[in-house]
Amino acid sequence: MTPGASPSLGATSEVGRLRTVVLHRPGAELRRLTPRNNDQLLFDGVPWVARAQEEHDAFAAALTARDVEVLYLGRLLAEVLEVPAAREELVAAAVDDPRLGATLKRATTAHLAGLASDDLAATLMAGLAHDELRGGRGLAYELMDRGDFVVPPLPNLLFTRDSSVWVGDQVAITSLAMPARHRESSITRAIATHHPRFAGTGQLYDASLEHLEGGDVLLLARGVLAVGVGERTTPGGAERLARRVFARGLAHTVLVVPIAQERATMHLDTIATMVDVDAMVMYPAVADSLVAWTVTAEETPDDDDTSDLVVRGPQPFVVAAAQAMGIDRLRVIDTGLDPVTAEREQWDDGNNTLALAPRLAVAYERNTVTNAALEAAGIEVVRIAGSELGSGRGGPRCMSCPVWRDES
């Protein structure tokens, strides 16, 4: 890929026409999941990998059919590993694990450093098992079982939304909360830093900072962000992001939205996503109780991390959002679901839609009642299969990282 192949990068809303997106086609990393480790690796079951790939291919095809350019994370990673600095950083991140001890760490570093770029990319994603390591030695190595991972796999790479998020023309490399996902941010950072496609892009956030995940960040409108605070994103992360977007002129208001600290509602986008410039679909159980704290800058800030913030609230989320967006009201599409159906479809990511343009959204086909309600409200729904993709608890929005949207 040549420098300058796509001069346009960035996003200011959730619903501007989607032009370019990063996806990750599930691969060998999913084949590492077993009933023994799937909980630790944050999957609710062991997916049928071939079917998951078929479903993901159909998802990508639905995007390209609507003129969305799809960039694949694995290909970007292999390309960036041709850059010596990126290769060094990513190998160092892969062995930065106190389990290994000094001897095994050296042996693993030597093994990874000797791989060709495509093979190294595959290993960084799928992990490295004990019996795959050439020249393994040391006490830690001897005490491992054959199937233990020297470098753990990254099955959650499928959910490209979480490890980076674009705000305006800058990218936030996020700080992932769960240990099984920490290394994902090293990959997205290396791509954003070293890949020619993203040359010169400003980086808004860093994995060393307070926990902040992309699934908790909604771009409600130009200059207005909503940030969920719950299981994955901390109040400190929301505060840090607010200071930085204010200091860089990327937003004037951040709405901080507390959500339940539960797996079913791990991110804000599991309960609410935008489907039009003034409308969202929301889990009925929280529609009347969701609140927001409105955060603004006390004055024009000149520092990323120390400027004073003004915090007001709480208010009902839909009221605070409408005020910040400068609209009369934020429409919440009433799905009309009974409590049991609502809970089932929320668990199956019924509220996790990916807008391709105003009033055009991708959704899992299995959430039939939610999809019918969206269509009744004037939203065109592009249905995709997700019986296997959903085993990691993520829908179309989770599986996509927009890097270029038109203004909405």
First to last CA, the chain: 29
Contacts of 215 (CB under 8 A, 6+ apart): 159, 161, 162, 228, 232, 266, 267, 268, 269, 270, 394, 397, 398
Query: pTM to 2 decimals?
Result: 0.91
Domains and CATH numbers, the chain: 156-405 (3.75.10.10)
The continuous run of DSSP H or E covering 180 comes out as none
What b/e string do you get for 276-299 counting C-beta neighbours within 10 Å, with b at 16 or more? Answer: bbbbbbbbbbbbeebbbbbbebee
Helix boundaries (H) for 127-271 = 139-143, 184-194, 235-247
Q: What interhelical angle do 184-194 and 84-94 show, nearest 10?
A: 170
CA 176 distance to own-chain centroid: 10
Active-site pick, 52, 86, 207, 398: 398
- Residue 389 phi/psi, 5-degree rounding, is -60, -35
Give yes or no: 398 in active site.
yes
What tens-digit pLDDT sequence spans the chain (408 residues)?
333 334 589 999 999 999 999 999 999 888 887 777 776 766 667 778 889 999 999 999 999 999 999 999 999 999 999 999 999 999 999 999 999 999 999 999 999 999 999 999 999 999 999 999 988 889 999 999 888 899 999 999 999 999 999 999 999 999 998 888 889 999 999 999 999 999 889 999 999 999 999 999 999 999 999 999 998 899 999 999 999 999 999 999 999 999 976 655 578 998 899 999 999 998 877 878 899 999 999 877 666 777 789 999 899 999 999 999 999 999 998 766 666 665 655 545 568 999 999 999 999 998 888 899 899 999 999 999 988 877 766 789 999 999 999 997
As to burial, measured by CB atoms within 10 angstroms (0-12 exposed, 13-18 middle, 19+ buried), residue 378 is exposed
Rounded (10°) CA dihedral 329, 330, 333, 334: -60
